[in-house]
């Protein structure tokens, strides 16, 4: 939710942020504060601890970055004065980018530290004592132990996506880092879910926190999400079918294992899609290239595992496709939150086989609602084999209509919210969509803003 203002000023005026920061806000193009910002910024400015229950995509980075930066500007000193910890390199990079945008006119210095890349330049930057350090737990701890990172001046600590840090086994590292921080400091903890270990951490860490409970476990209302019942061997064909949909501009496809992610990315590329894998066995350079390519739309499809895709914020992802169901119900909300971001619409399709029944039950219990079931003709679990024999590749019965690309139109794929998707013939990034033997994406279709 955003709050609109009628007096022509940006809705951010209400916070009394310093002018250098307001310039950053305008530079970022933020017109009105998001709900999480409305609720977090005043408490952050007042120096209070904050517990934010919100997922990535809600605007939480700016919610903590703005008060943190404002307070740093009160009195300029060498740092590190603020430490922001994130579970993955991708999220750390995104957080740093947001800080850079917002602090562009302030002169505040920052370094990003994470593993998988040479440590030298991080050490050099730390030696200049930047005010802000954004990092992942492993490398932060490494530098701390080598005596190259000093945390005794830290005034503000942010733990972002704390539940993911727990999932990834980082809690012991976090506790070691906490031990190196001064006792007197401001703590801001953000988490999309509140498992009991995070609750315990929050209890230990936060003093009389201002609690902002934004996202419950339910997916954002801008996401049209549904379960697609399918037999395991037909998943790939169903994926191709969905990717061929008119409204599919750009998709993140989640698989259960790293091997499945790299194999599927390879198969999709061979089939003519602009697809790339993102999984933990890739080097940091490969991961960066994959993310850059996906952000810049050189690739339309990112095939990822949960861990690799944590916290990814790429605007304009029209579809999340869970090729395999996630391990936990919580991961469902996280995964499908990669679309429908920034109040845009998104579609999330989860492939479920007969062995996923227990997962469906617990996920529906967690989100407190039944997830819509959709059946695409020719992909019913009991149609396995029959449909293959009856039709040559790329043709299905559907409703008899074939698109110009020879792909069938499914009559069951209308959006549940009844909202049409806009299409335009030209592609906004101006790049030709090449190498699409299967015409997996319709050229130029873009989501409405
Ligand atoms: P986050 O939850 O921090 O990952 O933010 C999701 C996206 O929303 C980021 O791309 C932010 O730059 C963007 N964003 C954050 N706050 C606002 C705002 N008030 N208006 C417009 N965009 C925003």
Residues 306, 230, 352, CA angle at the centre, nearest 5°?
A: 40
Q: How far is the C-alpha of 156 from the C-alpha of 47, rounded, in Å?
A: 9
Q: Is omega for the bond preceding 168 within 30 degrees of 0, making it cis?
A: no
Q: Return the residue whose CA atom lies nearest to atom 5 of ligand 1.
A: 59
Probe target for ligand 1 pocket from 59, 191, 343, with the most ligand atoms within 8 Å of CB: 59
With beta carbons less than 8 A apart as the criterion, state whether 81 and 156 touch.
yes
Answer whether 56's CB lies under 8 Å from 92's CB.
no
Please state the φ and ψ torsions of residue 402, each to the nearest 5 degrees.
Answer: -115, 145
Q: Where in the chain is the domain with CATH 3.40.50.300?
A: 11-213, 223-374
409/400 Cα distance (integer angstroms): 8
Res 153 pLDDT > 70 = yes
Q: Which residue has the higher pLDDT, 364 or 91?
A: 91
* Cα–Cα distance measured from residue 210 to residue 48, given in angstroms and rounded to the nearest whole number: 7
For 92-116, write each residue's pLDDT tens digit.
999 999 999 999 999 999 999 999 8
What is residue 345's predicted lDDT score, i.e. its pLDDT? 72
Q: Which ligand 1 atom is at minimum distance from the Cα of 54? A: 2
- Terminal-residue alpha carbon distance, the chain: 14
Q: Distance between alpha carbon 107 and the CA centroid of its chain, in Å?
A: 28
Is 388's pLDDT higher than 60? Answer: no
What pLDDT, on a 0 to 100 scale, did the predictor assign at position 391?
Answer: 39
CATH number at 11-213: 3.40.50.300
The pLDDT score that the predictor gives to residue 444 is 31
pLDDT tens digit sequence for 225-271: 889 999 999 999 999 999 998 788 899 999 999 999 999 999 999 99
For all residues of the chain together, what is the average pLDDT? 79
Distance 179 CA to ligand 1 centre (A): 32
| pTM for the full predicted model | 0.59
3-state secondary structure of 372: strand
Q: Within 6 Å (CB) of ligand 1, which residues are found?
A: 30, 33-34, 37, 56-62, 98, 313, 342
Instruction: Give CA–CA dist 41/82, Å, rounded.
Output: 16
User: Where does 170-312 have alpha helices with state H?
Assistant: 171-179, 196-205, 235-243, 258-270, 284-295, 306-309
Residue 404, SS3 per DSSP: coil
Q: What is the pLDDT of residues 288-326, one digit of tens each?
A: 899 889 989 999 999 998 766 665 667 778 889 999 998
* Per-residue pLDDT tens over the stretch 37-64: 998 999 999 999 999 988 777 789 999 9
- Supply the CATH classification number for the domain 223-374: 3.40.50.300
Å from CA of 316 to ligand 1 middle: 13
Per-residue pLDDT, averaged over 344-357, amounts to 87
Euclidean distance between CA atoms 244 and 246, whole angstroms? 7
Residue 206 to residue 185: CA distance in whole angstroms: 10
Class of residue 256 by CB neighbours under 10 A (exposed 0-12, middle 13-18, buried 19+): middle
Contacts of 406 (CB under 8 A, 6+ apart): 394, 395, 439
pLDDT given for residue 321 in this prediction: 94
Which pair of tokens denotes residue 350? 């989860």
């Amino acid at each position: 939710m955003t709050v609109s203002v009628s007096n022509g000023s940006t809705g951010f005026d209400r916070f009394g942020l310093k002018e250098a920061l307001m310039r950053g806000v305008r530079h970022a193009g933020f017109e009105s504060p998001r709900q999480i910002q409305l609720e977090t910024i005043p408490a952050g400015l007042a120096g209070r601890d904050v517990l934010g229950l919100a997922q990535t995509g809600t605007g939480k980075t700016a919610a903590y970055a703005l008060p943190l930066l404002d307070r740093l500007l009160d009195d300029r000193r060498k740092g590190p004065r603020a430490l922001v910890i994130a579970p993955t390199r991708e999220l750390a990079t995104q957080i740093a980018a947001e800080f850079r945008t917002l602090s562009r006119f302030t002169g505040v210095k920052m370094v990003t530290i994470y593993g998988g890349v040479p440590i030298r330049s991080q050490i050099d930057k730390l030696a200049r004592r930047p005010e802000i350090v954004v990092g992942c737990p492993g490398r932060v701890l490494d530098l701390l132990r080598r005596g190259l990172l000093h945390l005794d001046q830290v005034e503000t600590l942010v733990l972002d996506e704390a539940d993911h840090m727990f999932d990834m086994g980082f809690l012991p590292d976090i506790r070691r880092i906490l031990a190196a921080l001064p006792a007197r400091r401001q703590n801001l903890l953000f988490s999309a879910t509140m498992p009991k270990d995070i609750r315990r951490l929050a209890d230990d860490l936060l003093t009389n926190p201002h609690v902002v409970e934004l996202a419950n476990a339910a997916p954002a209302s801008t996401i049209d999400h549904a379960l697609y019942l399918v037999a395991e061997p037909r998943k790939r064909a169903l994926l191709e079918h969905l990717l061929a949909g008119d409204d599919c501009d750009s998709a993140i496809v989640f698989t259960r294992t790293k091997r499945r992610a790299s194999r599927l990315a390879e198969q999709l590329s061979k089939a003519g899609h602009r697809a790339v894998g993102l999984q933990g066995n890739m080097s940091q350079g490969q991961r960066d290239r994959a993310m850059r390519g996906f952000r810049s739309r050189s690739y339309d499809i990112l095939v990822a595992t949960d861990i690799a895709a944590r916290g990814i914020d790429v605007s304009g992802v029209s579809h999340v496709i869970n090729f395999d169901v996630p391990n936990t119900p919580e991961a469902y909300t996280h995964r499908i939150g990669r679309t429908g971001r920034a109040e845009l619409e998104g579609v999330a399709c989860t492939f479920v086989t007969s062995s996923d029944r227990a997962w469906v039950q617990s996920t529906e219990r967690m989100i407190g609602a039944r997830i819509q079931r959709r059946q695409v003709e020719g992909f019913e679990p009991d149609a396995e084999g029959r449909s293959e024999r009856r039709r040559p590749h790329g043709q299905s019965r559907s409703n008899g209509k074939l698109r110009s690309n020879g792909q069938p139109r499914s009559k069951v794929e209308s959006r549940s919210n009844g909202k049409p998707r806009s299409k335009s013939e030209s592609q906004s990034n101006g790049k030709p969509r090449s190498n699409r033997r299967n015409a997996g994406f319709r050229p130029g279709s873009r989501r409405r803003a």
